[in-house]
Amino acid sequence: MTEEPFRIRAKDFRPGCAVVFGAALAFVMPVVSAHAQWAVYDGANHVQNVLIAARTLQQIDNQITSLANQAQMLVNQGRNLASLPLSTLSTLQSTISQTTALLAQAQNIAYSVQSVEQQYQQAYTSVSSGMSDGALFSQAQTRWQNSVGGFEDALKLQARVVGNIPSDSSAMTQLVSASQTSTGALQAAQAGNQLMALQSRQLFDIQAELAANGRAADLERARQAANEAGAEAQYQHFSQYDAYVPQAVAIPSSGY
């Protein structure tokens, strides 16, 4: 069996078939033309674009994180530079002034080198046998008054130191609380400095009290030493008189 070539013969060509064939060609040609205009999808280029976008987003996120860290650093710096709202300096200065005023009110012999040299020379070291009994008694009275005044001054200062304890306790509580709740380094440092200032003021009280107690004790020891010298001078006065010699005494008669 042999294949016959496809031929369009005139007898097969009819007007109706021509119309159908022409319509088929008109339908096929636009489809072919439209297919030729489709965009070609490049997978590698798409992946590259996605990676670039991801890197850009990562850079933006890093910048945001960096800005947030810088903002937090500025906030921390602001806290570190914030001053402590509590100050006990005026209270400490007032307490020191009161203690100093008590020291300045020292009776008789003041806390002064010049005063000590002058008054000590007059009442303690100038005792001699050439002085009268009245002068010796006057000096002994002065020394007794100095000793009594010294003990009184020491007692007053001790009362002041004890009276400072409640205010010191309150100030210490406030400063420790402020230190523990401080928002930055400066506040903590200032609270620590004020605590040290409070301790220094307490040491000042102890120093003043030791000075007052020492002054009273030294005045009493000096009084005792001077009294011994006065007693020796009085003995010298007594020994200068002649011994008693008994004599006969005539008694007049009563007339009975």
256 residues of the chain, pLDDT tens digit each = 444 444 444 444 454 444 444 444 444 444 444 445 566 667 788 888 889 999 999 999 999 999 899 888 888 888 777 888 889 989 999 999 999 999 999 999 989 899 899 888 888 988 887 888 888 889 999 999 999 999 999 999 999 999 999 999 999 999 999 988 888 888 989 999 999 999 999 999 999 999 999 999 999 999 999 999 888 888 887 777 655 567 776 676 655 5
Rounded to whole angstroms, the Cα distance separating 195 from 172 reads 7
Rounded to whole angstroms, the Cα distance separating 44 from 114 reads 103
Query: Given this model, what pLDDT does residue 167 score?
Result: 92
Rounded to whole angstroms, the Cα distance separating 27 from 36 reads 15
Closest CA to 99 of 240, 248, 202: 202
Does the CA dihedral 108-111-116-117 come out positive or negative? Answer: negative
Closest CA to 144 of 223, 81, 231, 253: 223
Rounded to whole angstroms, the Cα distance separating 159 from 110 reads 19
Query: Given this model, what pLDDT does residue 31 score?
Result: 46
Structure-token match 């509590």, residue found = 86
List of E strands, the chain: none
Query: Given this model, what pLDDT does residue 2 score?
Result: 46
Identity of the residue numbered 3: E
Contact indicator for 208, 157 with CB cutoff of 8 Å = yes
Query: Given this model, what pLDDT does residue 12 score?
Result: 47
Query: Given this model, what pLDDT does residue 244 score?
Result: 59
Query: Given this model, what pLDDT does residue 255 score?
Result: 54
